[in-house]
Structure 1
Amino acid sequence: MTPRRLRKDASTLWFQAPFVMAMRIHEMQMAALTGKSQDTVEMNRMVTEKVMATAESAVAVNMAISRAAFGAAMQMMTGGRPSAKKAGEAIAAAAVKPYGKRVRSNVRRLSRKKT
């Protein structure tokens, strides 16, 4: 299940993040061309979302590393061989998930927003 989540979030970042950037840049350009003040709410949202996603990602990565280390230790104690591939996929999925979630919500919000 983790590789599927990782593929979903990575493809979201690959295809939808440029759309979000283009929509936001378009709004800023239109505000500059029409002479109205820029939408400070959207600009503040951009910054706070990135900071929150980074913090959430850092916590998720630390938790995934702890789970992987504990799982590997338990497997080694019982005579098994831990899978580095599965652990790496879980850690990568944990790192990318907060960003993918926010990009998807921004695409939904910005695509229905009327300018």
Structure 2
Amino acid sequence: MASGRQFPRDAFSLWLQAPLVIAMRCHEMQMAALTGSKQDTAEMSRMITEKMAAATESVVAANFAVAKAMMTAASPSATARAVSEAAIKPYGKRVRRNVRRLAAKKG
């Protein structure tokens, strides 16, 4: 299991960066609509497929964390923390990658 600070740090990072990704994507779509250019369908498809993949990975990771906690007879609070960390990790990974990628497009 990760350190005690891992979950709060990941949750705070996700809380800050997810709206940034949404804003950057909305801005791209708005500019495409205003200029009459073809919208980036690849980015829209990517939004959907990434969300489906992250949700699937999150559910699997949370289930493995529950199974591991049951095998080790972990306390309820340790189990909750492990499941939470496992569930949020796939989302955080994708959001951080999107922030870097979308910010690089602008530069």
TM-score (norm 1): 0.87
Q: Percent identity?
A: 57
**Count of equivalent residues:** 106
Q: 1:31 & 1:69 partners in 2: Cα distance?
A: 51
Contact 1:19 1:107 in 2 (8 A): yes
TM-score (norm 2): 0.93
AA of the residue aligned to 2:54 = A
1:106: which partner in 2? 98
**Structure 1: unaligned runs, 5 residues or longer:** 73-81
AA of the residue aligned to 1:113 = K
Contact 1:2 1:90 in 2 (8 A): no
2:5: which partner in 1? 4
CA RMSD of superposed structures (Å): 1.3
Shift of residue 10 of structure 1? 0.5
Give 1 or 2 for the bigger CA radius of gyration. 1
**Structure 2: unaligned runs, 5 residues or longer:** none
Q: Partner of 2:4: helix, strand, or coil?
A: helix
Cα distance change, pair 95–2 in 1 and its aligned pair in 2 (3 A): farther
- Match runs of 1:30-41 below 5 Å: 30-41=31-42
2:45: which partner in 1? 44
RCO higher in structure (CA 8 A, sep ≥6) = 1
Contact 1:2 1:93 in 2 (8 A): no
